[in-house]
Amino acid sequence: MKFGLVDSIIELTRGERIVAVKAVSLAEEYLADHFPTFPVLPGVLMLEALTETAAWLVRDALDFTPSVVLLRQAKNVTYKSFVKPGNLLRMEVTCRHLEKDASEFSGVGFCRDEEVVKARFSLTHFSVKEGSGGVESPVDQRLVADARAKFAILYGPAAERQNLVSR
């Protein structure tokens, strides 16, 4: 199963800060098992939502040159409350350090104005290269094109972003 945990990017300061949201719906398959009588967004997916949010900041800041952005390390992760179906999880992520192949962030997830998750984490990013010459591969080109297209949807017109937040 492939799914994204960022539904919309509502604020972006290139290379510095990003705010995104995830609308949690009862229709999401993983909620059937976590927990059957008390469905909540699993904590690991809250961390993944922060990670995905930071990955969009990296892609934008580095003009989509890394085709792959992965979590390298998570520290000081704290969970303070549950996120239930019908809730909107707002992820606020601040870049602490950004280089070509690695980055560090601090992130906080909110449900309404209540902090539900907080973490410091680092990402690693790279491109898929072919052969010893380091030529960009067709896979890399497709990953970058797909990421650009998805970013255009997630970070749509300002009016659409404001409508999502004001609901």
Which sequence positions are flagged as catalytic?
Answer: 34
Nearest to 128 by CA among 148, 144, 112, 113: 144
- State both tokens at 20: 């995104």
CB 42 within 8 A of CB 34: yes
CA–CA separation, 40 vs 53, rounded Å? 20
Q: Which residue in 162, 24, 166, 20 sits closest to 91, CA to CA?
A: 20
Residues 6+ apart with CB under 8 A from 136: 127, 128, 129, 130
Rg of the Cα trace of the chain? 16
